[in-house]
Amino acid sequence: MEIAVSIPAYKVSKQILPLLAKIGPEVKAIFVVDDACPEGSGKLVEKECHDPRVKVIFQEKNSGVGAATLRGFHEAEKAGFAILVKLDGDGQMDPSFIRFLTKPIREGKADYTKGNRFYSPRFLAGMPVLRLFGNAGIGFLAKLTTGYWNISDPTNGYIALHSSLLPILETERISKRYFFENDLLFRLSLLRAVVVDVPMKAHYADEKSNLSISHTLVSFPGKFFVRFLKRVVYRYFLRDFHMGTILLLAGTVLLCAGGGFGAYHWMESTRTGVVASSGTVMLAALPVLLGFQMLTFTLLFDVLMTPKDPIFPNLENS
């Protein structure tokens, strides 16, 4: 299982050469993808880096970190490499961690691995407080959206996957910019690929993030909601029909019916001044309670359905 690395390069001219020098011999090929970098990071690598493993690819226009990463992945997959790793060019990711990140895939325990900076409190030293709380909130939305309740730190860009997944991932539909990692997890969940977290320490120096926090707060929740609905429809209705589907349908109907019935009679009581009877209150409250309980069981069912058997061995043999 030979390893290839894809490095999206945008405004990393100060960090890219020291980063390349740190990549160990376990990596057999390095694809540096210059995403129309205004600093000319790709040209700098071509001129100053003499590592025979390095190949520089130039994007005609800036397409985003996801597009650049996937461009490197596709080149590596065509060249026959089994494990594909994304390594950011800004130096925040320690190349020595690659052997740990890829270990679950090499041992046949995972289809996809990612770093997890939340595994231990001491790993978070140096992480900005705003980013810490932002990641925690996004983490819950990602779990709900993808069904990967066993993972944390979904925005972590230090990722690895088996190359056999690439042709069936519909990469042309994956978000190409900063929602890339979350959208990739969503696509993997539709395939029921096994995702494993690998503990890693956060590292922050003088790098400047190109991600706008305000843009994240505005755009990410809507993206998560749309993908959550898609996963529910696909996993609970189109691909399969199981007890979780029945609980979801019954719980939603009861919750909406009880809530609607209660809201109507509450407005009627407000308008007429007549207090609703205890029977009316029970007719509203009981369906709401039952519906809420059924949706809670649906959530538990979803947690128990987290994929456990890697799919890449079957893909390799097909």
Instruction: Please tell me the predicted confidence (pLDDT) of residue 299.
Output: 95
Helix (H, G, I), strand (E, B) or coil at 228: helix
Cβ 248 vs Cβ 219: under 8 Å: no
Residue 106 token pair: 């090499």
Per-10-residue mean pLDDT for the chain, 318 residues long? 96 95 97 96 95 96 95 97 95 93 96 90 68 79 94 91 95 92 95 95 60 67 94 92 94 96 92 88 95 96 93 79
Instruction: Please tell me the predicted confidence (pLDDT) of residue 316.
Output: 74
Phi, psi of 29 (to 5 degrees): -150, 145
Instruction: Please tell me the predicted confidence (pLDDT) of residue 315.
Output: 81
Residue 101 token pair: 């990140």
Select from 10, 11, 9 the least CA-distant residue to 20.
9
Phi, psi of 95 (to 5 degrees): -60, -25
User: How do strand 3-9 and strand 112-116 relate by DSSP bridges?
Assistant: unpaired
140-165 b/e (C-beta count within 10 Å ≥ 16 → b):
ebbbbbbbbbebbbbbbbbbbbbbbb
Instruction: Tell me how far apart the alpha carbons of residues 178 and 157 are, in angstroms, rounded to a whole number.
Output: 10
